[in-house]
């Protein structure tokens, strides 16, 4: 087989892969849930499922390519945003097929996951993916609340345009205060967030772990909701229930 990944790059496969290494936490969870017998390696950042027991190959931005090769994978799964092109190119140069996903919206996530499982892996559409697609088909509610979503502090960074999390906000009926411009993850300050007209902030627990004692105090006068970073930024099995959980957190703001 010579399939095309999300970038349109050919991925030569002798057949459905039986030994897969994942360099993306979301995809690791999806693979572990759907084809656990095929997943042989994952990054140190792959935290779900909690009982995952596979070889670790360092991080998303600095994978141990020698360790990956030693696992004898017939497919490595990566993502354009999370992983470096350098690592993808060098793995391919070593003769290891790499499938690169591109996910900047909920629709892209659903389509990408569907292709990965049905085309590349040769299995049917997972039940959790069908459930997730159904959960996200409803039109967004007419909230119109203007929000900011910090993902780091010192320096402060927020979710910007053309991002998966930004699309999630829109589907929840929210307006991203940093949804325009060129920078997908702008640097700013708490004062800059207020100046952007944010009426509330959503504080996820990853990549920076905001807590009740670390985050809300920076935004006096603005309602703040602590939310699951996995619900906001992951596009694996958590997608099925993410919309309901995030909607409940947003409802508490108003």
Q: Give pLDDT tens digits for 83-112.
A: 999 999 999 999 999 999 999 999 999 999
Structural element, H or E, at residue 152: strand 150-152
Q: Which residue has the tokens 């600095």?
A: 62
**Is the pLDDT score of 46 beyond 80?**
yes
Question: Which pLDDT value is given to residue 135?
Answer: 95
Mean pLDDT in the chain? 96
What is the mean pLDDT of the segment spanning 53-79? 97
Q: Which of 240, 252, 231, 232 is nearest to 143 (CA)?
A: 252
Q: Which residue has the tokens 């990566």?
A: 78
Write the pLDDT tens digit of every residue in 109-163: 999 999 999 999 999 999 999 999 999 998 888 889 999 999 999 999 999 999 9
What is the mean pLDDT of the segment spanning 73-79? 98
Percent of the chain clearing pLDDT 70 (strictly above): 100
Domain ranges across the chain = 2-125, 145-251
Supply the pTM of this predicted model: 0.92
CA 164 to chain centre: 7
Question: Which pLDDT value is given to residue 2?
Answer: 80
Instruction: Give the count of beta carbons closer than 10 Å to the beta carbon of residue 80.
Output: 16
Architecture of domain 2-125 in this structure:
3-Layer(aba) Sandwich (3.40)
Architecture of domain 145-251 in this structure:
3-Layer(aba) Sandwich (3.40)
Task: Say if 2-125 and 145-251 have the same CATH topology.
Answer: yes
Write the pLDDT tens digit of every residue in 169-191: 999 999 999 999 999 999 999 99
Give the three-state DSSP class for 172: coil
Between residues 254 and 75, which one has the greater pLDDT?
Answer: 75
């Amino acid at each position: 087989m010579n399939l095309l990944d999300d970038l349109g790059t050919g991925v030569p496969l002798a057949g459905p892969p039986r030994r897969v290494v994942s360099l993306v936490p979301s995809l690791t969870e999806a693979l572990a849930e759907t084809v656990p017998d095929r997943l042989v390696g994952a990054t140190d950042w792959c935290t779900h499922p909690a009982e995952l027991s596979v070889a670790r190959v360092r991080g998303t931005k600095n994978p141990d390519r020698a360790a990956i090769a030693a696992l004898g994978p017939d497919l490595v799964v990566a993502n354009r945003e999370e992983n470096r092109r350098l690592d993808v190119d060098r793995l391919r140069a070593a003769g290891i097929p790499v499938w690169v996903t591109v996910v900047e919206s909920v629709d892209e996530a659903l389509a990408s996951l569907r292709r990965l499982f049905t085309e590349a892996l040769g299995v049917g559409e997972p039940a959790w993916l069908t459930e997730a697609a159904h959960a996200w088909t409803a039109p967004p509610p007419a909230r119109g609340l203007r929000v900011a979503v910090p993902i780091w502090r010192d320096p402060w960074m927020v979710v910007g345009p053309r991002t998966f999390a930004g699309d999630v906000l829109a589907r929840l009926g929210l307006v991203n205060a940093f949804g325009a411009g060129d920078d997908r993850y702008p640097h700013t300050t708490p004062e800059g967030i207020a100046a952007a007209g944010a009426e509330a902030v959503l504080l996820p627990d990853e990549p920076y772990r905001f807590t009740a004692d670390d985050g809300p105090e920076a935004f006096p006068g603005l309602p703040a909701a602590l939310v699951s970073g996995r619900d906001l930024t992951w596009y694996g099995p958590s997608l099925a229930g993410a919309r309901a959980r995030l909607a409940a957190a947003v409802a508490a703001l108003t």
